């Protein structure tokens, strides 16, 4: 079956909406957050632990899987779901962002990108056709077109060229994509330039993809520009298709994105901050290496039902981090992803039950993350 998205409910006071993405690997209620499994695994967690967080869709990284172990090997294993032991939905990115950010000596031309692998320095070539072919071999439920994602602060000429190539490559990807059980999403670029963002949306939407992503945000721009661009850009995407905000997933950004009509999110941040001893809770951010947690025998979050909060104290988790025990990072990652999934679950309930979306149920301020250390 080809994945499809159905709208189920709207919030009358914002653009928030609830729906369901149906795939061959199960249904994904939206709004949804996708933990990042860069190389076919969410770092430190087993698939059944990720499942226990409430996650029903993961993101995997085409660039990394293209280099190691290769799409053909994953296909021989029965596809990415079988290879990594994950029974639910998977979205694979195109690899474009990683080429731009990781690969040294890259060269962009009309047909694609030539770059040297960050793994062994070998010369590699990624084109719209190759990005589609690799993702078809991986067998993900949702594949992304190859795009050009420039960082914040580049010249308008560079931004305009990124929009032009992204549209050109989207047309190629649409033409060559043939896997019927895999959705293909287009990507809208344009940075925080209103005119270019609108132009990109018009050109990509015209191609009639299964869903649409907003790329090139949360790449260094000020928060007010991020929100203003999101406010304007989301309505340029079709109402009847899922909308995906790439690389965004802090609790406050989830609330802001959902209020503006976004359905899908991904972000490495919950796992990344966990590896540095930080826990997200309903009261704010706990930096557990702080001395004041040494004799704090409460759970991280008394209202959280994850295994970390049910079994362990802040004091014990701090001890694990201080002695370098990897279990500490693992337990914090499990909690942080659970916390984010609890946030999106509550957002879905707000929408379907007619409550003000995301207001009054956790204490993080509008301005960002509140530290409780």
d(CA 295, CA 314): 8
DSSP single-letter state for residue 150: P
Do 111 and 119 form a contact (C-beta atoms < 8 A)?
A: no
Q: Is 93 a catalytic residue?
A: yes
Q: Is 301 a catalytic residue?
A: no
Q: Which of 11, 141, 210, 266 is catalytic?
A: 266
d(CA 35, CA 40): 11
d(CA 77, CA 72): 9
Helix (H, G, I), strand (E, B) or coil at 37: strand
Do 373 and 284 form a contact (C-beta atoms < 8 A)?
A: no
Burial class (CB in 10 A: 0-12, 13-18, 19+), 361: middle
Q: Which residues are bridge partners to 267 per DSSP?
A: 35
Tokens at 289, concatenated:
């290496």
Q: Which of 11, 93, 253, 263 is catalytic?
A: 93
d(CA 76, CA 242): 31
**Closest to 310 in 3D by CA, of 335, 327, 286, 328:** 335
Do 91 and 57 form a contact (C-beta atoms < 8 A)?
A: yes
- Buried b vs exposed e over 7-17: b needs ≥16 C-beta within 10 Å? eeebbeebbbb
Peptide bond into 31 cis (omega under 30): yes
DSSP string for residues in 153-203 = T--HHHHHHHHHHHHHHHHHHHHH---TTSEEEEEE--TT-HHHHHHHHHH
Do 175 and 134 form a contact (C-beta atoms < 8 A)?
A: no
Which residues are identified as catalytic?
93, 266
């Amino acid at each position: 079956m080809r994945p499809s998205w159905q709208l189920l409910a709207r919030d009358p006071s914002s653009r928030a909406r609830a729906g369901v993405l149906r795939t061959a690997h199960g249904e994904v209620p939206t709004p949804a957050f996708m933990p990042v499994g860069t190389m076919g695994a969410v770092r430190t967690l087993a698939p059944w632990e990720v499942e226990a967080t409430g996650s029903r869709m993961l993101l995997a990284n085409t660039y990394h899987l293209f280099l190691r172990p290769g799409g053909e090997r994953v296909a021989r294993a029965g596809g990415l779901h079988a290879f990594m032991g994950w029974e639910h939905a998977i979205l694979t990115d195109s690899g474009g962002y990683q080429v731009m950010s990781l690969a040294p000596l890259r060269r962009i031309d009309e047909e694609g990108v030539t770059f040297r692998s960050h793994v062994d320095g070998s010369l590699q070539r990624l084109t719209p056709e190759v990005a589609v072919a690799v993702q078809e071999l991986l067998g993900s439920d949702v594949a992304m077109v190859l795009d050009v994602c420039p960082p914040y602060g580049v010249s308008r000429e560079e931004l305009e060229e990124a929009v032009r190539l992204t549209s050109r490559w989207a047309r190629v990807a649409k033409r060559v994509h043939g896997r019927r059980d895999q959705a293909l999403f287009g990507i809208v670029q344009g940075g925080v330039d209103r005119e270019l963002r609108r132009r990109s949306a018009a050109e990509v939407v015209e191609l009639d993809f299964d869903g649409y992503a907003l790329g090139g945000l949360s790449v260094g721009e000020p928060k007010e520009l991020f929100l203003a661009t999101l406010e304007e850009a989301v309505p340029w995407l079709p109402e009847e298709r899922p909308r995906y905000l790439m690389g965004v997933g802090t609790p406050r950004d989830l609330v802001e994105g959902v209020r503006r009509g976004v359905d899908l999110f991904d972000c490495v941040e919950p796992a990344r901050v966990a590896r540095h001893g930080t826990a997200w809770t309903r009261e704010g951010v706990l930096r557990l290496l702080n001395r004041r947690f040494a004799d704090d025998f409460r759970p991280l979050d008394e209202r959280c039902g994850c295994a970390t909060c049910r079994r362990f104290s802040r004091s014990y988790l701090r001890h694990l981090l201080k002695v370098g025990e990897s279990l500490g990072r693992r337990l914090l990652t499990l909690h942080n992803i659970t916390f984010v999934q609890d946030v999106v679950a509550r957002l879905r309930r707000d929408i379907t039950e007619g409550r003000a979306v995301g207001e009054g149920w956790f204490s993080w301020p509008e301005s960002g993350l509140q530290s409780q250390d």
